[in-house]
Amino acid sequence: MEYLQNFLPSSYVYKLIDFFEITEHLQGFEANIRANIYSKAEAESWLDDFESLNKVNFRVLRTYAHGELKLVFKKDYRCHHNTGASLKSSKTKNPSSKHVNCPAFLRITVKKCGMKRSQDKLLNTYPCELTIRHIHNHLLESADVLRHRRPTKETEEKILELFAIGHSPSSALDLLKYDLQEEYGSEYNKIAADGALCPKLQWVFHKYHTKFKKAHKASDEFSNSHISSPSSPLPTDRSEEPSDNDNLNQERFISIQQNLQRVFDKLLQDVQEDPHILDATEKFIQNFDNIKTNSALISSLHMFGKQNMEIIDVQLTSEKAKLQHTCTPGKHGYLLVEDADGDSQWLVPLKKIRKEPQSLSVGQNITLKKNQ
């Protein structure tokens, strides 16, 4: 039992029924333990403590019908690094990066005390039975694993408090990160990699719309009072959390956010260096402001960046000097562009070039004219 004390929350009383330690390949243990847990609320509280202590997260795998006669609570759980994508029945073609088909398993059963015909001698003092398979096929404290952890209740309460005083999802997350920097100092980078303490922006948006805005709307409709006080946080239901598909979309959202930041940082740099880009950027902003509907925005995004073949600007450079290029008519309505050595060639569709003579700039002080 001393070995298990490092894995079990200390605020409960346990009685070991069965234990098997695994030391080969996947290290861990399997155990059957009784505990002094009497209700559903206590069972869920124990699970939260167990997850926090071991830096793991579980999702519901199976539920059981229970009533007042025999069972108070019973659920099976799987490690959240097993999304079920490996099952034959799964329709997931591109599983989340966190899916490693982890075999860890947990079952919590709380029996009804006082059953007269029960042969269970531990029923009245240890009504809860814990079946634990603490065998994970992934590291528990690597940055790639920690970033997938579910934010704790304390983290959620902090975010809701920031919403209540007027913060947006982005500013609430920024302020939370600032507080973590103040609290952990040089350890901040390690803490920031832990999703339980520093959640992803998409999760913050999810809580803003599913918890805060719902509470705000209910307050306006029924009491016309201020938003629900963060000192009385809304209950956390694991079923309301993003699904594995939501997590996959979350990763796409974060990737798009990072790439947009990179693209606009590059654009700002180019604007400072080239006045022609400055003029074009002003026009881009004006056109963007004129877009009024999502369908128009989607169409514009799909069209953005497609090459306009009416004006072709071919700029070719070598490491030592500019190369000379020639244009000759090609087959099937194409114009063949090649360098002096004949090493590189390009085909330009003639049908998309204006009928009048059109100059094509190639390098510096070199012009090519369409063959009449």
pLDDT tens column, 105-144: 999 999 998 787 888 889 999 999 999 999 998 888 888 7
Residue 212 included in any domain: yes
Judge if 35 and 128 occupy the same domain.
Answer: yes
DSSP 154-207: HHHHHHHHHHHTT--HHHHHHHHHHHHHHHHGGGHHHHHT-TTTS--HHHHHHH
Q: Which CA distances in Å does 283 have to 101, 275, 307, 326?
A: 51, 13, 18, 34
Q: How far apart are CA 111 and CA 69, in angstroms?
A: 9
**Do residues 109 and 81 make contact, with C-beta atoms less than 8 angstroms apart?**
no
Q: Specify the length of the chain in residues.
A: 372
Question: How many independent structural domains does the chain possess?
Answer: 4
Residue 170 included in any domain: yes
Q: Which of 84, 117, 145 is the last residue of a domain?
A: 145
Please report the pLDDT score of residue 228 as a whole number: 40
Using DSSP, state whether 300 is helix, strand or coil.
Answer: helix
Judge if 123 and 64 occupy the same domain.
Answer: yes
Judge if 258 and 233 occupy the same domain.
Answer: no
Judge if 178 and 236 occupy the same domain.
Answer: yes
Q: Which residues of the chain have pLDDT under 70?
A: 67-68, 85-96, 214-251, 305-372
- Write out the two tokens for 48: 């939260």
Q: Which of 100, 120, 145 is the last residue of a domain?
A: 145
Judge if 263 and 219 occupy the same domain.
Answer: no
Judge if 80 and 172 occupy the same domain.
Answer: no
Residue 351 included in any domain: yes
Judge if 232 and 270 occupy the same domain.
Answer: no
Residue 262 included in any domain: yes
Residue 308 included in any domain: no
Judge if 22 and 116 occupy the same domain.
Answer: yes
Q: Which of 265, 282, 303 is the last residue of a domain?
A: 303
Please report the pLDDT score of residue 72 as a whole number: 92
Range(s) of the domain holding residue 195: 153-241
Judge if 97 and 208 occupy the same domain.
Answer: no
Judge if 217 and 105 occupy the same domain.
Answer: no
Please report the pLDDT score of residue 247 as a whole number: 54
Residue 219 included in any domain: yes
Please report the pLDDT score of residue 174 as a whole number: 93
Q: What is the mean pLDDT of the chain?
A: 75
Axis crossing angle, helix 153-164 with helix 169-184, rounded to the nearest 10: 130
Residue 246 included in any domain: no
Please report the pLDDT score of residue 347 as a whole number: 52
Judge if 292 and 344 occupy the same domain.
Answer: no
Judge if 287 and 232 occupy the same domain.
Answer: no
Please report the pLDDT score of residue 156 as a whole number: 93
Q: How far apart are CA 56 and CA 294, in angstroms?
A: 40
Nearest residue to 340 via CA among 315, 358, 365, 322 = 322
Q: How far apart are CA 327 and CA 339, in angstroms?
A: 9
Residue 176 included in any domain: yes
What DSSP designation does 147 have? T
